[in-house]
């Protein structure tokens, strides 16, 4: 059996489809469906069982069994609201849950492949897997970094695979339920559905209008890294998962305009409430992932946006 936490979420549900494509259906999904809209991500996948997050956590006692051997745990579940400042809740959901899961996997010698976040690098320009680069600027990022740091202390005693992935800006099918936390690709597409303009932030942090840069990665590429780690249980550590190339928000907007064949860009004032807590530049340092043996390429913004919009609209772009 394979366990996928956050299986009803954005990345988790895409991972389920990829596992199904491999013939894997003996899957236990763990999630919190108080936001029932997420169930739409599970309607086209085949799984063996479902457990609520809290019920699953209550069963994670030393020596606990789930009825049959667990081959791997993909831990994608988390509170991903970067604007959430309830530190008590964030640490319970993102840090404590992960800590308990790590110890259960370690005791059972079950591979643990988990989602971290590039948000741990904060507003800095460096993304090396190094404590000197880690400067979180919100509670979400802090909760992710604390588990990464906890893992570093535990690694010498671990006998099974534990691999963390610091996701950069992921976009693709299955993210609509995230609302304000959905990718800019989804938001820009929605803006063109109701009008003819895409709204981008004016210049900030030394960047010109719309020229703030992020490492945008399609969810298919993120899933591919997850499955590669699963196929290579001898690989452990923390890895950046992005394309390795930053692109501007203008680039993303132009890719969407090109697909739809219409639209224009309008720049709006940079929000005051984001000052000091906004990443104006991200770019994955992939040296660790490449050194570990991952050699596959990544979709460009133009390729990825087209693939995503084709899935959203049910048509191929001209």
Q: What is the pLDDT of residue 318?
A: 41
Active-site residue, 308 included: no
User: Are residue 107 and residue 254 in the same domain, yes or no?
Assistant: no
User: Are residue 124 and residue 264 in the same domain, yes or no?
Assistant: no
All residues at 6 or more sequence positions from 52 whose CB lies less than 8 Å from its CB, including other chains: 30, 31, 32, 33
User: Are residue 143 and residue 197 in the same domain, yes or no?
Assistant: no
Q: At residue 215, what are phi and psi to the nearest 5 degrees?
A: -95, 100
Instruction: Exactly one of 50, 150, 178, 267 is catalytic; name it.
Output: 178
User: Are residue 151 and residue 271 in the same domain, yes or no?
Assistant: no
- When divided into structural domains, the chain yields a total of 2
The CATH number assigned to the domain holding 262 equals 3.90.25.10
Q: What is the pLDDT of residue 200?
A: 96
Query: Is 146 contained in some domain?
Result: yes
User: Are residue 128 and residue 265 in the same domain, yes or no?
Assistant: no
User: Are residue 201 and residue 161 in the same domain, yes or no?
Assistant: no
40/251 Cα distance (integer angstroms): 30
Q: Are 237 and 112 in contact (CB under 8 A)?
A: no
Q: What is the pLDDT of residue 315?
A: 66
Could you tell me the mean pLDDT of each successive run of 10 residues in the chain, 318 residues long? Answer: 97 98 98 91 96 94 88 93 82 95 96 97 89 92 96 95 98 93 95 94 93 97 98 98 98 97 96 81 97 98 98 72
- What is the SS3 string spanning the chain? CEEEECCCCHHHHHHHHHHHHCCCCCEEEEECCCCHHHHHHHCCCCCCEEEEHHHHHHHCCCCCCCCCCCCEEEECCCCCCCCCCCHHHHHHHHHHHHHHHHHHHHHHCCCEEEEEEHHHHCCCCCCCCCHHHCCCCCHHHHHHHHHHHHHHHHHHHCCCCEEEEEECEEECCCCHHHHHHCCHHHHHHHHHHHCCEEEEECCECCECCCCCEECEEEHHHHHHHHHHHHHCCCCCEEEEECCCCCEEHHHHHHHHHHHHCCCEEEEECCCHHHCCCCCCECCCCCHHHHHHCCCCCCCCHHHHHHHHHHHHHCCCCC
User: Are residue 84 and residue 111 in the same domain, yes or no?
Assistant: yes
Active-site residue, 140 included: yes
Instruction: Exactly one of 121, 140, 230, 278 is catalytic; name it.
Output: 140
Q: Identify the domain containing residue 129 by its residue range.
A: 2-168+216-244
Q: What is the pLDDT of residue 225?
A: 98
User: Are residue 103 and residue 183 in the same domain, yes or no?
Assistant: no
- Comparing C-alpha atoms, which of 97, 179, 178, 84 is closest to residue 138? 84
pTM above 0.85, yes or no: yes
116/26 Cα distance (integer angstroms): 25
């Amino acid at each position: 059996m394979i366990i996928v936490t956050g299986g009803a979420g954005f990345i988790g549900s895409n991972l389920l489809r990829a596992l199904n494509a491999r013939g894997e259906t003996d899957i236990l999904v763990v999630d919190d469906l108080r936001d029932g809209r997420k169930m739409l991500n599970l309607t086209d996948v085949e799984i063996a069982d479902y457990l609520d997050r809290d019920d699953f956590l209550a069963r994670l006692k030393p020596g606990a069994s789930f009825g049959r051997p667990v081959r791997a745990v993909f831990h994608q579940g988390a509170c991903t609201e970067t604007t959430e400042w309830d530190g008590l809740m964030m640490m319970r959901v993102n840090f404590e849950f992960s800590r308990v899961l790590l110890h259960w996997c370690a005791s059972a010698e079950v591979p643990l492949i988990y989602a971290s976040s590039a948000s741990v690098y904060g507003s800095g320009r460096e993304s090396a897997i190094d404590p000197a680069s880690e400067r979180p600027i919100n509670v979400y990022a802090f909760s992710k970094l604390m588990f990464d740091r906890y893992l570093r202390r535990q690694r010498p005693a671990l006998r099974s695979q534990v691999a963390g992935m610091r996701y950069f800006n992921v976009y693709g099918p299955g993210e609509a339920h995230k609302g304000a936390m959905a990718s800019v690709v989804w938001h820009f597409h929605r803006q063109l559905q109701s009008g003819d303009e895409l709204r981008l932030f004016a210049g900030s942090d030394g960047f010109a209008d719309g020229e703030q840069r992020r490492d945008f990665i399609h969810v298919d590429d993120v899933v591919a890294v997850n499955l590669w780690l699963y196929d290579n249980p001898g690989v452990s550590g923390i890895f950046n998962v992005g394309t390795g190339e930053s692109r501007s928000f203008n680039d993303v907007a132009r890719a969407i305009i090109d697909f739809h064949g219409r639209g224009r860009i309008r720049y709006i004032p940079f929000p005051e409430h984001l000052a000091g807590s906004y990443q104006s530049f991200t770019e994955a340092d992939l040296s660790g992932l490449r050194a570990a043996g991952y050699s596959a390429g990544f979709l460009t913004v133009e390729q990825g946006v087209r693939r995503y919009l084709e899935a959203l609209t049910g048509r191929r772009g001209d």
